[in-house]
Structure 1
Amino acid sequence: MIDVTGSARPLEGRAIGVLIESDYYEPEIAYYQHRFPEEGAETRFLTRLWGQASLTFTGHEYRAPLVCDTDFESDMEAVLDSLAAVIIPSGMVADRLRYTDDVGVLPPATEFLRRAFARPDLLKGIICHGLWLVAPLPELVRGRHVVAHNNLHGDVQNMGAIYVDSDVVVDGDLVTARTGAHCHQFARTIIDLLSGRPPVFAPDARIPALAG
């Protein structure tokens, strides 16, 4: 694929991490599996492996299996070092990953997200119900422009974020999208930002496109 600048596969050698658990929205995940590699990026699925070598998750619609063997918990900083972007997908993924053994301790997935937000050069993408994972740390999105599924409008308000009625919203290093059905616009926006192009689906983006 050739982009508008004439560069073949502009994301060659980069990796985009996608958190995964069961009850994922299969059309969204399948789209990431082929769309990011079209631009040269690896789609890397990450989860909490609970000490296992791998886990097999099933989708929400057809119970399709997806094997994940990359653990975000064992060495969070090393995993983050290897990524250009990290995505919290739709479906029940965020709800399953926000489980914590001790309610006095952050869920490991939210701790991973906290560390991701501490890196302004790392693009964060949250789509649909993925915003659930932010609930234990609302300060991550407080005062920032976001969109989420209509069912989470109250959650957005309670987190102190600024709801924007748009299918895709870019606020700095954060990209949000309305539903899993908007994964095409969401993925294209992430690709545009990582490629240093103005995002087609978020013309009101509040920062210049991320490059490098």
Structure 2
Amino acid sequence: MANETLDGLKVAILVTDGFEQVEMTEPRKALDEAGAKTRLVSPKDGNVKAWDFTDWGETFPVDLALGEARPEDFDALLLPGGVINPDTLRTLPDAIAFVKAFFDAGKPVASICHGPWTIIEAGAARGRRMTSWPSLKTDLQNAGATWLDEEVVVDGGLVTSRKPADIPAYNRAVLELFGSARAEPREATAE
């Protein structure tokens, strides 16, 4: 992954309480190490609390409130899973509009585990090849997607993965896909 350079790439990571900790921290670390600028976007103010496999995990500061986040200010979107996080996000019109805006603009999106629930709700699953946590198979099929039991599935500007054990392959695919949307070099501004 060291050969991927994402300098200047701005990535929104949409979460609320209950996201699977490793599904946010490991991809975020890979993106940051490749030079991307990641920001936690949330409908919650202050902090969000992760889920760590079987119990509550660490707390993370929210970088940007969802109500203030503008999809046009980002180059790519990361959707961690967990059960609680995407189940809550898919009920929030602002969160769904945020996700839909990335698909409408043709920007790359990465989602793992239960994260595809928000993609379904945004109307962006139809006609795509996707994977997810196995319990979402029927949900994705009912939304018009072709579900595959593979560690990573890339379909155009979307990369999906099944579970934490798939994160090494997921991270490689995310870096490659997001690299295709590398931001144009920006002029340095005087501060």
More strand by share: 2
Query: Contact (CA 8 Å) 1:25, 1:59: kept in 2 or not?
Result: yes
Structure 2 distance, partners of 1:29, 1:84, is: 17
* Runs of 4 or more consecutive aligned structure 1 residues displaced over 4 Å after TM superposition: none
Per-residue deviation, residues 55-111 of structure 1 (Å, max 9, x unmatched): 211121243111103023335xxx2222221011110211121234xxxxxx21111
Change (3 A) 1:97 1:164: same
Per the TM alignment, residue 142 of structure 1 is displaced from its structure 2 partner at its CA by: 0.7
Q: Which has the larger radius of gyration?
A: 1
Partner of 2:161: 177
Change (3 A) 1:13 1:66: same
Structure 2 distance, partners of 1:134, 1:81, is: 18
Per the TM alignment, residue 47 of structure 1 is displaced from its structure 2 partner at its CA by: 1.0
Structure 1 distance, partners of 2:130, 2:41, is: 24
Q: CA RMSD in A?
A: 2.0
Does residue 1:66 correspond to 2:50, yes or no?
no
Structure 1 distance, partners of 2:85, 2:2, is: 33
Per the TM alignment, residue 2 of structure 1 is displaced from its structure 2 partner at its CA by: 5.0
Question: What TM-score results when the alignment is normalised by the length of structure 2?
Answer: 0.84
Unaligned ranges ≥5, structure 1: 4-8, 101-106, 197-209
Change (3 A) 1:71 1:163: same
Change (3 A) 1:149 1:39: same
Structure 2 distance, partners of 1:117, 1:41, is: 20
Does residue 1:156 correspond to 2:148, yes or no?
no
Question: What TM-score results when the alignment is normalised by the length of structure 1?
Answer: 0.76
1:141 corresponds, among 125, 130, 133, to 125
RCO higher in 1 or 2 (8 Å CA, sep ≥ 6)? 2
Matches within 5 A, 1:110-121: 110-120=96-106
2:88 corresponds, among 96, 102, 105, to 96
Per the TM alignment, residue 136 of structure 1 is displaced from its structure 2 partner at its CA by: 3.0
